[in-house]
Structure 1
Amino acid sequence: MIIVTGATGQLGGQTVERLLTRVPAGQVGVSVRDPQKAQTFADQGIRVRQGSFTDAASLAHAFEGASQVLIVSVDKMGEEAVRQHRAAIDGAVAAGARRILYTSHMGAGASSHFQPCRDHAATEDALRASGVPFTSLRNGFYAASAVRFLGHAMRSGEVALPADGPVSWTAHADLADAAAVILADEGRFDGPTPPLTAAQALTFDDIATIATDVTGRTVKRSTAPDDRFRQQLVGRGVPVEAADQLLGIFAASRAGEFAAVDPTLAALLGREPVTLSTVLRDQLSDNDGR
């Protein structure tokens, strides 16, 4: 049985949906913190069990009978994230899984400027030490994050962000589809995959131009010094640690950590990945700048 964690989240949920087009529902299970939120999966014949990365006993039940386990990375950072990922890895090993898959990130490395990439690197080390074959999905940066960074720019006409570098913004749906392909073709990748990215790496100058084209309203990109941007975030109630991590995205992009473009995702999908222009058109046009 293929077990997917975090199946009530955006990436995990879409991965399960795409997996159902490739394998019977009876061969799929989900491990979720709140089974009530996964009722639609249960209605389709998927095994739904409660599982938490902070409760080893729950994972033993949720992962029972697993042939493969897809660990969707948590929305924590630092040691807490790595601790939870290690617990999930231990649970998969104890369940006898033949292969563990993990949603990592392009640019994962111990010296990354971006904390989550350091966390992903530490988790990949734990996977190597587990003794079980693993696949680490080196996902491109979520395109939805680019939309969130635009924020109120669609009202003000200006996006003021720190200096950045090119980023391979990649759609959740494409990454979920790729994960399903790899799960259905066990062993297709051993260890970290190549970067799973869209076909272009874009700066926020590029994104402002795309947003202008999509909405028909001029969006100007201006550069805010790192310190000022951090102060503005903290002034709006963002915790200091979270503000520092957001700045890490820009520092990492300036260092070229997210600039890679690779054909692997297109090969897995059998088509070109969704462009950021399409993502922006779908989300910004629907919201009409609100």
Structure 2
Amino acid sequence: MIVVTGATGRLGSRVVDRLLRHVPAGEVGVSVRDVRAAAGLAERGVRVRAGDFTDPAGLAHAFEGADRVLVVSAAIRGDGALAANAAAVDAAVAAGARRVLYTSHQAASPDSLFPAQPVHAATEAHLAASGRPFTALRNGFYASSLPFWIGDAVRTGRVVAPQDGPVSWTAHDDLAEVAALALATDGLLDGVTRPLTAPDALDLAAVAGLLGELTGRPVERVVVGDDEWWEGAVAGGMPPPAADFTLGMYRAARRGEFAAPDPALEDLLGRPATPVCAVLGELVAGQR
């Protein structure tokens, strides 16, 4: 059986949908925090069980009989993230899974300026030490996060943010398709993958240019200092730890951590990756 965690989330739900195109529903199980949210999957014949990374004991039931497990990285910030990811990996190994897959990130590194990346790097190390074959999917930076980066630029005509750098904005749908292929074809991807990214890396100035083309009016890129941005974000209601976390993204971007275009994703897909302008076009259409 193939078990996918986080199967009601933005990435996990897409992985399961594409996986069901490759294998029968009876061979697929999901581990979710709220089984009610996965009722649609149960109706399709998928095994649905409750599982929470912060409750390792419960994962034994969720992973029972698993041959392959996809651990979608925990949506937790801070020290608890690594503990949660490691607990899921350990539970998959204890359940007898022959391969454990993990949704890592293109910039996974112990010395990254973005706090999420040392967690990914440490989880990869934990996977490697598990003694089981593993796959760390080094996903590109999710293009769906662009609304957060550009704020209300569609309305104001201004992208106001700290200095950044090129980012390989990558669509969830493309990454989900590759994850499903890796689950359905054991051994297709082994160990730490090459960066699974869209072919272009754009900074926010370039994104602002695309927004201008899509909206038909100029969109200005306005750079503010780190401290000024942090103070404004906190004054606007963002908790200081969240502001620190977010500022790390900008610092990592301008150091070039997210500028890693690689042909691996398109090679696996057998087609061009979804361009960032397509994601932006949906955003603009939704805000008009």
Please report the TM-score for the alignment, with normalisation by the length of structure 2: 0.98
Q: Is the 8 A contact 1:215 1:285 kept in 2?
A: no
Once the two structures are overlaid, the 10-residue window that deviates more, 268-277 or 278-287, is: 278-287
Counterpart amino acid of 1:131?
A: G
Partner of 1:130: 130
Aligned to 1:279: 279
Which residue identity does 2:17 align to in structure 1? E
Q: Does 1:209 align with 2:209?
A: yes
Check whether the contact 1:102–1:137 (CA below 8 A) recurs between aligned residues: yes
Alignment correspondent of 1:12:
12
Write out the 4+ residue segments of structure 1 that deviate beyond 4 Å after TM superposition.
none
What aligned pairs does 1:112-123 form with structure 2 within 5 A after superposition? 112-123=112-123
Is 1:43 the counterpart of 2:52? The answer is no
User: What is aligned with 2:71?
Assistant: 71
1:93 maps to amino acid: V
Corresponding residue for residue 146 of structure 2: 146
How far apart in 1 are the matches of 2:193 and 2:6? 21
What are the Cα deviations for residues 215-235 of structure 1, in whole angstroms up to 9, with x where unaligned? 112211010100000001111
Give distance in 2, aligned partners of 1:79 and 1:23. Answer: 36
> How many pairs does the alignment contain?
288
What secondary structure, in the 3-state scheme, does the structure 1 residue paired with 2:262 have?
coil
1:230 corresponds to: 230
Alignment gaps of 5+ in structure 2: none
After superposition, give the CA deviation of every residue in 1:218-270 in whole Å (9 maximum; x if it has no partner): 21101010000000111111111110111111111111111011011101111
Q: Do 1:214 and 1:285's aligned partners in 2 also have CA atoms closer than 8 Å?
A: no
- C-alpha distance in 2 between matches for 1:132 and 1:77: 27
Whether 1:164 and 2:202 are equivalent positions in the alignment is no
| Conservation of the 8 A alpha-carbon contact between 2:154 and 2:287 | no
Unaligned runs of 5+ in 1: none
Per the alignment, residue 91 of structure 1 pairs with 91
Q: Is the 8 A contact 2:168 2:259 kept in 1?
A: yes
Q: Give the 3-state SS of the residue equivalent to 1:4 in structure 2.
A: strand
> What's the counterpart of residue 196 of structure 2?
196
RMSD: 0.8
Q: Distance in 1 between matches of 2:268 and 2:185?
A: 11
**TM-score (structure 1 length as normaliser):** 0.98
Q: What SS does structure 1 have at the residue aligned with 2:197?
A: coil
Cα pair 2:114 2:248 within 8 Å, conserved: yes
Whether the 8 Å contact between 2:265 and 2:273 is mirrored in structure 1 is yes
Q: Which moved more, 1:236-245 or 1:92-101?
A: 236-245
Task: Name the residue aligned to 2:100.
Answer: 100
Residue 55 of structure 1 aligns with an amino acid whose one-letter code is: D
Residue 154 of structure 1: SS of its match in structure 2? helix
What percent of counterpart residues are identical?
A: 53
Residue type of the alignment partner of 1:38 = A
Cα deviations by residue, 1:160-203 (Å, 9 ceiling, x for unpaired) = 11111100000011111110011111111221100000010001
For 1:118 and 1:71, the matched residues in 2 are separated by 17
CA displacement at 1:102 relative to structure 2: 0.3
Q: Deviations over 1:13-57 (max 9, x none)?
A: 000001011111111000000000000100000000001111122
* 1:125 Cα deviation after fit: 1.1
Find the residue that maps to 1:170 and give its secondary structure.
coil
Could you tell me how far apart the structure 2 residues matched to 1:159 and 1:287 are?
Answer: 15
Confirm or deny: 8 A CA contact 2:197 2:261 kept in the other structure. Answer: yes
8 Å contact kept, 2:162–2:250: yes
Partner residue, 2:180: 180
Q: Which amino acid aligns with 1:130?
A: S
